Amino acid sequence: MALIQWDQKYETGIKQFDEHHQKLVDLINKLYDAMRAGQGNSILASVFNELIAYTQYHFSAEEKLFKETKYIAAATHIREHQKLVEKVTELKTQFDQGKMGITSQTLNFLRDWIVNHIQKSDKGYVLHFKKYGIK
C-alpha cells in the first residue's frame, strides 16, 4: 500500500510540474516500501539520494519559470523550497552518520510537506503561469 495515493486534487494543470510531482510521490512511496520491507541502508540511501536529487531538479525548474515570468510570490515560494532542502539535508546527514534511520516520522513529514506544498503553494502559481502560456 502506498504512503501517498496520487489523486487529481494534487494536479496543478501545469503538465511538467504535475509529472514532477507524480515522480516525487513515487519516490516517497518507493522509500516507504523499502523501509517497510526492511531493506538495508544501502537501498534506503540510494532511494533517499534519488529523492533529494529529483527534488532539487524540480525546484530549480519551478524557480527558473518564476524568474522568467517574474512571479510575484517567488521569494516566499523559494524560501519554502530552501527550508525543505535544509531539513532533508539534515536528515540525510544524520542517516549517513548512522544517527537515524528512515522512520515513519520522516516519511510522514515528507508526505505532509509535499501534499501541503502542492495543494497550497504550487496551486498559487497556476493562473500566473497559464497567463504566460505555460500549461
Neighbours of 125 (CB within 10 A): 22
In terms of C-beta density within 10 A (0-12 exposed, 13-18 middle, 19 or more buried), how is residue 21 classed?
buried
In terms of C-beta density within 10 A (0-12 exposed, 13-18 middle, 19 or more buried), how is residue 134 classed?
middle
With beta carbons less than 8 A apart as the criterion, state whether 81 and 59 touch: yes
The three cell numbers locating residue 34: 523499502
CATH number for the 13-131 domain, one of 1.10.760.10, 3.40.50.300, 3.40.50.740, 1.20.120.50? 1.20.120.50
Domain ranges of the chain: 13-131
The per-residue pLDDT of the chain, averaged, comes to 93
Question: Global pTM?
Answer: 0.92
DSSP state of 3: S
Determine the Cα–Cα distance for residues 85 and 55; give it in Å rounded to an integer.
Answer: 8
The three cell numbers locating residue 114: 509535499
101-134 tens-digit pLDDT: 888 888 999 999 999 999 999 999 999 999 999 9
